Amino acid sequence: MSARAAELALPANASPVSLHRPPPFGRRVELGSRGTTFYREVSGPEGAPTLLLLHGWVASGGMNWAQAFEPLGRHFRVIAPDLRGHGRGIRSPRRFRLRDCADDMAALLEQLDTGPVIVVGYSMGGLVAQLLWRRHRERVVGLVLCATSAAPVARTLDRLVFGSAMVAASEAARAVDRSVQPPLAWLRQVLPRPSTEVRRPRSLRTWLAAEMGRHDWRMLLEAGAEVARHDARPWLREIDVPTAVLVTTEDAALGAETQYWMAHQIPGATIHCHEDGHTACAWPAFGQSLLGACQDVAERIA
């Protein structure tokens, strides 16, 4: 795997996250026929604007935004769901589609009766944010796009190679799912049920292992193929809500030049720079950089 692909595949925050300020507890919510999902929430000040935080590939809402909950929660209501296939997100036999993630988020916002929100997307979450604006414009009053681009795998050859590899791996995972699902279902009937007691994890290692263990890896591989196919370049100039682009200037997975290019294509978008790589959200300084970008968008909406 290339350094570019390896960085893209890393969990959004590896070792730097500190649990002295653990992410807020979350709750499950039914989204009708779409399935059951999970989100974490910080209520924020009364009457504050709402942020919908969308995490990156192979992360979860808790992992990706651990450094951001506290600074953002002082100024905004914050909602951070797990996207389908990730963490405790929706499980489905359907193939993973970014557009389904966008529709899931529209259904979640309707269920929570949030009204229009500022959508904040990191890496793959930025792609979902773009699609949420395009498919459900009435739900979105602003965008903050972090460590992301309009076409993460921009060159046609790279897209074909990376996408084909992800499709092949996901097909293998799907075949394994079919072969092992019946005995796994039987085992769940005879093994003791896990405790439902809500407890904080004792260590960072325990928490990260638990979050990673909740992923549906077949869906994540399909998500990788979807990331490779995504291309919003033809319609970026149509985005008509206040937008901030938070560029990770040392990003080896999604180069800074592609992030700057995207920002220049979106009418009126402002650029905020954070000097770190694709796993920038793992570090405390990221929370303050993100807060500045979110406040910029909120002020332009007001």
For residue range 137-194, what is the model confidence (pLDDT) as tens digits?
Answer: 999 999 999 999 999 985 443 334 344 444 344 444 444 554 444 444 443 443 344 4
Q: Residue 21 has what pLDDT?
A: 65
Please state, rounded to an integer, the average pLDDT across all residues of the chain. Answer: 84
For residue range 231-290, what is the model confidence (pLDDT) as tens digits?
Answer: 999 999 999 999 999 999 999 999 999 999 999 999 999 999 999 999 999 999 999 999
Q: Which CATH number does the domain housing residue 285 bear? A: 3.40.50.1820
| Cα(123)–Cα(194) distance, integer angstroms | 33
Identify whether the C-beta of residue 100 lies closer than 8 Å to the C-beta of residue 84. yes
Apex CA 59: angle with CA 28 and CA 251, to 5°?
150
Q: Is 72 helix (H, G, I), strand (E, B) or coil?
A: helix
User: Cα-atom radius of gyration of the chain, to the nearest Å?
Assistant: 18
Indicate the pTM of the whole model. Answer: 0.82
Tally of domains within the chain: 1
Identify whether the C-beta of residue 96 lies closer than 8 Å to the C-beta of residue 123. no
Comparing 1-15, 70-84, 153-167, 193-207, the range with the smallest average pLDDT is: 1-15
| Cα(114)–Cα(255) distance, integer angstroms | 34
Identity at 252, one-letter amino acid code = A
Determine the structural domain holding residue 202 and report its residue range. 3-301
> 């769901």: which residue's tokens?
81
